[in-house]
């Protein structure tokens, strides 16, 4: 320590040498000489920033804030680099388009002047870069645009005029009124006195129209209208058909209607209806009613309660299964009506269930009365859990048949008490306790004992141990075991009391 002065730094600041080249843009030697130890040339690179971002999540709040600010800076840095690349690409493309336009203009001049154009010494063509680059984009990024150094005004050009249509091609007024039917020609207004005069004339051809030189009185204009109405009433009989033709058309329409009113197939109607077939298990209910003094039988059976097909079994149940195995069960659909029926089965939506192609007694997928068709249902369990789904049987009936599919495996039941009392143990001592564990369920089970902090595990093999499973002063083994119905295993519990604070 110097006398009467401040303590000197144990390591003096290292000044940077001035670069030898005069064209370099490195000013780190100036910053080092001004700020001394406060300035450092170390830069946080992409790898260092990525490692710092991955290491966040600790207990130091300053480190978390530093990493958050660093991540914002890196995001802004990437965004600005993207914008710079976009602007650079735009400028390169604008220069290419300007060069191509200038070459086209130069070629046109060369064609007009000839081969001696280059020997004349004329100045080059006018630059087209001003019209190919986006000036607003350059100004947005604080760059010099052509509008900053080019003061010429933009020339104002008018739109080219179209060719005028010659007068001899235009339509005359007479042509528009008599011949032309185009929509644009109908917009012209009609001459009022001509329209009034034409309405007052009788309904005759326009070629025979003649107008008198003297105007007629107003009361005489009513006579042509009365004649017109009387003539229209007299001409109504012209639109009627002869009696023989009318009778012939009526016979033709009746024959056409009879062809369409044919007897339809009863399979397209619900059973126990007027046109449908009868049910083989539910007879029709007839009720007699008095109508005009006579007894008339009516059918009161509800077609919604009459089944078309019966499923055997009515529900599919899988009870014993293992993961990865394939289990199959066959169902039969029996036609319970007096007519042949088509059937369509919609498969289940769960990936664990699948249905195969049906087996029919005949060709064409038709089931005769009383006959059955068979479908095979496959079950491929992905895990030992319960599954529920259904298949839908559709026919010509308005209501479908639903067959539920279930997979329920009875779980194993272990005889383990909720609290295991191991007794007392001295400090520094070790005590062993044995406990009998029995499976009282009706299915096999594989069990794994693990600490509470490990649950749920990604894989049971990753947490399974060979020796004791440690949880505080307690340890238990075996960690993994399998028990069938009414099988038992002996569990060993070890207590290691290291201090009086452990319990």
Query: What pLDDT is recorded for position 373?
Result: 93
For the chain, give the percent of residues with pLDDT over 70: 68
d(CA 9, CA 37): 10
d(CA 194, CA 206): 13
Return the higher-pLDDT residue of 278 and 316.
316
Residue 400: pLDDT band (50, 70, 90) is confident
Instruction: Report, as an integer, the average pLDDT of 305-314.
Output: 84
Instruction: Report, as an integer, the average pLDDT of 133-158.
Output: 81
Q: What is the pLDDT of residues 110-132, one digit of tens each?
A: 777 766 666 776 667 788 888 88
Distances in Å between the Cα of 157 and the Cα atoms of 8, 151, 154, 160 are 77, 18, 9, 9
Return the higher-pLDDT residue of 33 and 100.
100
Tokens standing for residue 308:
């078309």
Distance of CA 229 to the CA centre of its chain: 67
Return the higher-pLDDT residue of 394 and 28.
394
Which residue's structure tokens are 């007897």? 263
d(CA 289, CA 291): 6
Q: What is the pLDDT of residues 16-42, one digit of tens each?
A: 666 666 667 677 777 777 777 666 655
- Comparing 18-32, 236-250, 439-453, which segment has the lowest mean pLDDT? 18-32
Query: What pLDDT is recorded for position 330?
Result: 93
For the chain, give the percent of residues with pLDDT over 90: 12
Q: Is the peptide bond between 313 and the residue preceding it cis, with omega within 30 degrees of 0?
A: yes
Return the higher-pLDDT residue of 409 and 32.
409
Query: What pLDDT is recorded for position 7?
Result: 46
Query: What pLDDT is recorded for position 188?
Result: 47
d(CA 311, CA 306): 14
Instruction: Dump the DSSP string for 187-252.
Output: GSPPPHHHHHHHHHS-S--GGG----SSPPPSGGGHHHHHHHHHHHHHTGGGGSPPHHHHHHHHHH
Query: What pLDDT is recorded for position 471?
Result: 82
Query: What pLDDT is recorded for position 322?
Result: 86
pTM over 0.85: no
Query: What pLDDT is recorded for position 85?
Result: 92
Query: What pLDDT is recorded for position 320?
Result: 84
Q: What are phi and psi of 273, to 5 degrees?
A: -115, 180
- Sheet containing strand 372-379, edge to edge, reads 309-312, 327-335, 372-379, 353-355
52-57 contacts at long range (C-beta below 8 A, 24 or more positions apart): none
Tally the C-alpha atoms within 13 A of residue 360's C-alpha that lie toward its C-beta.
16
Query: What pLDDT is recorded for position 407?
Result: 92
- Comparing 24-33, 124-133, 292-301, 439-448, which segment has the lowest mean pLDDT? 292-301
Return the higher-pLDDT residue of 301 and 416.
416
Q: What is the pLDDT of residues 253-286, one digit of tens each?
A: 888 887 777 667 776 676 766 666 677 776 666 6
| Secondary structure of residue 334 in the 3-state scheme | strand
Residue 88: pLDDT band (50, 70, 90) is very high
Domains of the chain: 27-148 (no CATH), 266-304 (no CATH), 310-407 (2.60.40.10), 430-496 (no CATH)
Return the higher-pLDDT residue of 361 and 112.
361
Query: What pLDDT is recorded for position 245?
Result: 86
Q: Which helix (H) or strand (E) holds 178?
A: helix 173-178
Residue 454: pLDDT band (50, 70, 90) is confident
Cα dihedral 195, 200, 206, 210, rounded to 10, equals -100
Query: What pLDDT is recorded for position 273?
Result: 66
d(CA 185, CA 145): 54
Query: What pLDDT is recorded for position 392?
Result: 92
Which residue's structure tokens are 């308005």? 398
Contact criterion met (CB below 8 Å) for 201 and 224: yes
Q: What is the pLDDT of residues 53-79, one digit of tens each?
A: 776 666 778 778 888 888 888 889 889
Helices (H) and strands (E) in the chain, counts: 12, 18
d(CA 97, CA 105): 13
Query: What pLDDT is recorded for position 502?
Result: 59
pLDDT score of 151 more than 50:
yes
Query: What pLDDT is recorded for position 379?
Result: 93
Query: What pLDDT is recorded for position 297?
Result: 59
Instruction: Report, as an integer, the average pLDDT of 219-231.
Output: 48
Mean pLDDT of the chain: 76
pLDDT score of 406 more than 50:
yes
pLDDT score of 378 more than 90:
yes
Query: What pLDDT is recorded for position 8?
Result: 46
């Amino acid at each position: 320590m110097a006398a009467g002065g401040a303590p000197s730094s144990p390591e003096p600041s290292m000044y940077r040498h001035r670069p030898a080249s005069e064209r370099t843009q490195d000013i780190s030697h100036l910053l080092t000489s001004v700020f001394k130890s406060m300035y450092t040339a170390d830069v946080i690179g992409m790898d260092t920033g990525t490692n710092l971002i991955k290491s966040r999540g600790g207990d130091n709040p300053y480190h978390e804030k530093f990493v958050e600010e660093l991540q914002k800076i890196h995001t802004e840095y990437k965004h600005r680099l993207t914008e710079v690349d976009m602007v650079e690409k735009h400028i390169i493309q604008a220069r290419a388009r300007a060069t191509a336009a200038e070459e086209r203009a130069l070629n046109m001049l060369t064609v007009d002047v000839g081969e001696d154009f280059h020997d004349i010494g004329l100045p080059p063509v006018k630059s087209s870069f001003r019209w190919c680059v986006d000036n607003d984009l350059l100004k947005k990024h604080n760059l010099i645009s052509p509008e900053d150094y080019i003061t010429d005004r933009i020339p104002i050009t008018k739109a080219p005029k179209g060719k005028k249509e010659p007068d001899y091609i235009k339509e005359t007024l007479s042509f528009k009124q008599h011949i032309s039917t185009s929509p644009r020609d109908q917009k012209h207004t009609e001459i009022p006195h001509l329209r009034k005069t034409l309405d007052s004339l009788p309904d005759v051809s326009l070629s025979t129209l003649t107008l008198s030189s003297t105007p007629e009185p107003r009361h005489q204009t009513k006579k042509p209208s009365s004649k017109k109405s009387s003539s229209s009433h007299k001409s109504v009989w012209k639109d009627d058909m002869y009696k023989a033709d009318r009778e012939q058309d009526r016979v033709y329409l009746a024959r056409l209607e009879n062809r369409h009113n044919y007897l339809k197939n009863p399979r397209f109607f619900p059973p126990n209806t007027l046109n449908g077939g009868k049910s083989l298990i539910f007879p029709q209910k007839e009720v007699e009613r008095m109508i005009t003094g006579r007894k008339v039988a009516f059918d009161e059976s509800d077609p919604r309660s009459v089944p078309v097909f019966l499923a055997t079994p009515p529900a599919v149940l899988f009870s014993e299964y293992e993961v990865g195995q394939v289990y199959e069960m066959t169902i039969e659909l029996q036609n319970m009506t007096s007519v042949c029926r088509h059937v369509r089965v919609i498969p289940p939506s769960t990936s664990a269930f699948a249905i195969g192609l049906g087996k029919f007694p005949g060709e064409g997928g038709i089931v005769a009365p009383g006959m059955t068709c068979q479908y095979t249902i496959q079950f491929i369990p992905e895990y030992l859990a319960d599954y529920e789904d259904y298949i839908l049987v559709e026919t010509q009936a308005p209501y479908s048949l639903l067959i539920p599919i279930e997979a329920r495996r009875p779980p194993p039941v272990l005889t383990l008490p909720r609290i295991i009392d191991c007794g007392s143990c001295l400090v520094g001592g070790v005590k062993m306790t044995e406990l009998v564990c029995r499976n009282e369920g009706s299915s096999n089970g594989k069990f794994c004992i693990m600490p509470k902090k490990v649950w749920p595990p990604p894989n049971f093999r990753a947490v399974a141990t060979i020796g004791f499973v440690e949880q505080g002063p307690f340890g238990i083994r075996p960690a993994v075991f399998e028990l069938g119905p009414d099988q038992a295993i002996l569990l060993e519990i070890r207590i290691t009391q290291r201090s009086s604070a452990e319990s």
